Amino acid sequence: MRSSAWILPLACVLPLALTGCTLSTTAAPTPVTGPAIRGAVYGAQQPIVGAEVFVAAAGTGGYGGSASLLLNINVLTNNPGNSGQEANGNYYVTTNSSGGFSITGDYSCTPGQQVYLIAGGGNSGSGTNNAIVLMAILGNCPGTGNFASATPFVVVNEVSTVAAAYAMAGFSASSTAGYENVSSSGTPLAKTGVANAFANAANLETLSTGVALATTPAGNGTVPQSEINTLANILAACVNSNGAVTGPTNPTACYTLFNNALYGGSSGAIPSDTATAATNIAHYPGSNVSALYALQAAGAPFQPSLSAVPNDWTIALNFPGGGVSSPVGIAIDGSGDVWVANDGNNSVTELTSLGASFSNSPYTGGGLDTPQAIAIDGSGDAWITNKVSGSGVNSGNGSVTELSSSGPPTSNSPYTGGGLSTPAGLAIDASGNAWVSDNGGVAVSKFNSGGTAQSGAGGYTGGGLGAPYGIAIDGSGDAWAVNSNSRSISKLSNSGTAVSGASGYSGGGLDAAFAVALDGSGNAWVTDYVGSITEFASSGTPASGSPYTGGGLNEPIGIAIDGSGNVWATNSGDNSISEFSNSGSAITPSAGYLGGSLNTPYGVAIDGSGNVWIANSGGSSVTEFIGAATPVITPIMAGLPATPTLNGTSNLGTRP
């Protein structure tokens, strides 16, 4: 059997440690014979001859674990002379003189598995190049167990690799020598996240042609085609070479690519192939932007491309329409659908994980009137605060609307009472109770899952409450509410008793508190409109490094925690978003992340695929940053424990 010069490496990355692991070769069930997966592998739009093509499926053995390789021994018989087995025992087919390949029934996949192609090595015209690794996402294995019938032809090139790297970023394990490991925990929520992530690749490129899109296939969103092409051109500089990695004197294209696409962004391990480099760029889109852009040569193969250095390499889509109008609140449900509260037209829009509006959306009725915050409960129902009912600002006639998971309002909606006056923020606890901060007064209201007020006629008071705005629930079932008029944050027990004392918790530079999010350790993170983020421990003590600044923070409003515990904030002051580590260090560059037609960004939410969704209150649209974050448990309340913890810890801000 042929011994491959390009061998699928054994190294993969696990959280917080670089360690060795082995790709598992699937103990294949009886192969399902069917139409071939036909395709071609191109580099810089030239055929790559002798590339080795593997069929892989996302693993379920844990994040950073192994993918499964699906080709079996029959490929050697059915593709004589155009197939082989590499040193680690994995089977492949090779591309011919036109870059073409064909795979018949020499594989099996399980319905629900997410499948992709890996093409390595070969000659794109400049000699054999072992630095070439390209990918293309095929998607969900059909119920027949035979994937091929759904994908008659596939182009694997630099564009498909960029689409795959970004779409799968939340589940990929970059390493020094290969990208093939895409895996999750295998829980139902994780599998949903992986499936949605793989499907998202179709919003970026056309699989059968390898061409970057300008508009999503459904016609509902704009795609940064020029940026995707530029990233493809950057990879092509290395692909369309002999693969030499020499420098820094007279550096080759592969040397420049690999040394500016490090495992940690600006530091860390150096990749040795193009797919790993693409993944590292997706993971750290703000690093070494100019140096990477310089790899795009004049007359680069993929056009149109960017004519100037971008601020960052995030890939952001924008979705107008669907009834979105001055959106404020945004939330993600367990299926990855996106719910948006439209302040501009008294409605709620529901988008699929691909950004398409549901046929009966936007939803109206149920008392929706100047909707603000939105949260999803354990049944998939959406709860929304209505700031004003009737004429006049702060009329004091606010309410809460509950929409069923299919959109129509529940029979008793809207809900009032419980001290409700001018509601702003809303959060759902582990028991399905809705907690509402009343910005027009000094109270917090609580409603049970049936909409009955639990907080009494005057609501819950004390603990320093004063014009509370954002609100969130911790693992103890306690409610944290930020006070927009007193530079403090209040904490109430699940029964409504004040925990935070007469003046609330203050300090940490808190000045103009706006929104709050809780992490898995019970820490409260608060956006401060003056341009910072303050972190409070579960005890109410400000973190020693607070307030956190930089990273593009500019009049931040919304805040969310991703599956790594990283903190995301929307910046209304300069139309950007910022990301901070769970230790408070800025990850985003000085201008934050831009793109996606951000326009007065307000609410922010992270989905189970690692995409960041933004409600653009000034642009009547929703922006999605593909694969920019770590996947997180959705909806938010699903991260709360059934049995309250003593110190507020939970699965908030953790991966599904």
**Residue 227 token pair:** 């940026």
| Spatial contact of 330 and 605, defined as CB atoms under 8 Å apart | yes
* Amino acid at position 220, single letter: N
Average pLDDT over residues 208-226: 96
Q: Is residue 280 located within the same domain as residue 329?
A: no
- At what angle are helices 274-283 and 158-167 packed, to 10 degrees? 40
Choose between 25 and 572: higher pLDDT: 572
- 129 CB contacts (<8 Å, ≥6 apart)? 43, 121, 122, 123, 238, 239, 241, 242, 243
Average pLDDT over residues 471-481: 98
**pLDDT value for 507:** 96
Please determine, for residue 31, whether its predicted confidence score (pLDDT) is greater than 90: no
pLDDT tens digits, 48-100: 999 999 999 999 999 988 899 999 999 999 888 899 999 889 999 999 999 99
Please determine, for residue 19, whether its predicted confidence score (pLDDT) is greater than 80: no
Q: Which of 472, 649, 429 is nearest to 558 (CA)?
A: 472
Pick from 139-148, 178-187, 221-230, 255-264: least confident: 139-148
Q: Is residue 419 located within the same domain as residue 518?
A: yes
Q: Is residue 568 located within the same domain as residue 599?
A: yes
CA dist 655 → 14, 16, 63, 185, 405 (Å): 14, 15, 9, 8, 23
pLDDT tens digits, 429-454: 999 999 999 998 899 999 999 999 99
Please determine, for residue 5, whether its predicted confidence score (pLDDT) is greater than 80: no
**Residue 644: inside a domain, yes or no?**
no
**pLDDT value for 1:** 32
In the chain, pLDDT over 70 holds for what percent of residues?
91
Q: Is residue 421 located within the same domain as residue 558?
A: yes
**Residue 108: inside a domain, yes or no?**
yes
| Segment holding 380, helix H or strand E | none
How far apart CA 123 and CA 104 sit, in angstroms, is 24
**pLDDT value for 104:** 80
Average pLDDT over residues 306-329: 97
**Residue 645: inside a domain, yes or no?**
no
The pLDDT-based confidence of 111 (bands split at 50, 70, 90) is: confident
pLDDT tens digits, 365-380: 999 999 999 999 999 9
Q: Is residue 126 located within the same domain as residue 177?
A: yes
**pLDDT value for 7:** 55
The residue with tokens 């005057």 is 458
Q: Is residue 273 located within the same domain as residue 384?
A: no
- 541 CB contacts (<8 Å, ≥6 apart)? 505, 507
Q: Which of 521, 439, 434, 530 is nearest to 485 (CA)?
A: 439
**Residue 648: inside a domain, yes or no?**
no
CA dihedral 231, 232, 234, 238 (to 10 degrees): 150
**Residue 576 token pair:** 């950007």
Q: Which of 42, 11, 352 is nearest to 175 (CA)?
A: 11
Q: Is residue 278 located within the same domain as residue 324?
A: no
**Residue 220: inside a domain, yes or no?**
yes
Average pLDDT value for the chain: 91
Q: Is residue 459 located within the same domain as residue 584?
A: yes
Q: Is residue 225 located within the same domain as residue 329?
A: no
Domain around 336:
316-639
Q: Is residue 217 located within the same domain as residue 327?
A: no
Q: Which of 254, 229, 231 is nearest to 241 (CA)?
A: 254
Q: Is residue 251 located within the same domain as residue 400?
A: no
**Residue 49: inside a domain, yes or no?**
yes
**pLDDT value for 394:** 44
CA dist 228 → 159, 259, 379 (Å): 7, 20, 38
**pLDDT value for 396:** 66
Number of H helices, E strands in the chain: 7, 37
The SS3 of residue 197 is helix
**Residue 466: inside a domain, yes or no?**
yes
The pLDDT-based confidence of 6 (bands split at 50, 70, 90) is: low
Task: Give how many domains the chain has, as a whole number.
Answer: 2
**pLDDT value for 588:** 98
- The DSSP code sequence of 127-179 is SB-TT-EEEEEEEEPPTTS--GGG-SEEEESHHHHHHHHHHTGGGB---TT--
CATH number of residue 587's parent domain: 2.120.10.30
Average pLDDT over residues 606-613: 98
**pLDDT value for 440:** 86
pLDDT tens digits, 348-407: 999 999 999 999 999 999 999 999 999 999 999 999 999 875 544 445 689 999 999 999
The 8-class DSSP code of residue 50 comes to: T
Q: Which of 276, 206, 182 is nearest to 235 (CA)?
A: 276
Q: Is residue 242 located within the same domain as residue 339?
A: no
Please determine, for residue 192, whether its predicted confidence score (pLDDT) is greater than 60: yes
Average pLDDT over residues 198-203: 97
**Residue 32: inside a domain, yes or no?**
yes
Average pLDDT over residues 236-242: 97
